[in-house]
Amino acid sequence: MPAIFNGTVLAFSDDIVMVDGNPYFPHASMATDFFRESDLTTVCGWKGTARYWNVVVGDQEISNAVWAYDTPKPDAESIRERFAFYRGKGVELR
């Protein structure tokens, strides 16, 4: 599955874990040149604390478009070292 923004592949992997309807990519598939760490964090009751990245491609930026749970709670262990994209922010998931 590719994650694409304005024709640029941000991530690609066949090793996808689906949680709550969101595809989680392995960190190794992340094209790190296009990600800038954000200060935002949120808390999910069953997954834990998520941190976020902005997507930057050329002069276009999508704030807080990507998140990951670095230390997920036990029920969400399948998404450790994985990240997901917010739908509706401009990143295409095919």
Structural domains in the chain, CATH included, are 2-93 (2.170.150.40)
Mean pLDDT, rounded, for 85-90: 92
Mean pLDDT, rounded, for 51-76: 97
Give the pairing of strands 48-57 and 2-5.
unpaired
Instruction: Record the pTM.
Output: 0.94
Dump pLDDT digits (tens) for 31-62.
999 999 999 999 999 999 999 999 999 999 99
| 66 vs 90: CA distance, rounded Å | 11
| 38 vs 44: CA distance, rounded Å | 18
Closest CA to 50 of 62, 64, 61: 64
The secondary element (H helix, E strand) that includes residue 25 is: strand 22-26
Query: 41-67 as b/e, with b when 16 or more CB fall inside 10 Å?
Result: eeeeeebbebbbbbbbbeeeebebbbb
Dump pLDDT digits (tens) for 7-38.
999 999 999 999 999 999 999 999 999 999 99
pLDDT score at 31: 97
Asked if residue 87 has pLDDT above 90, the reply is no
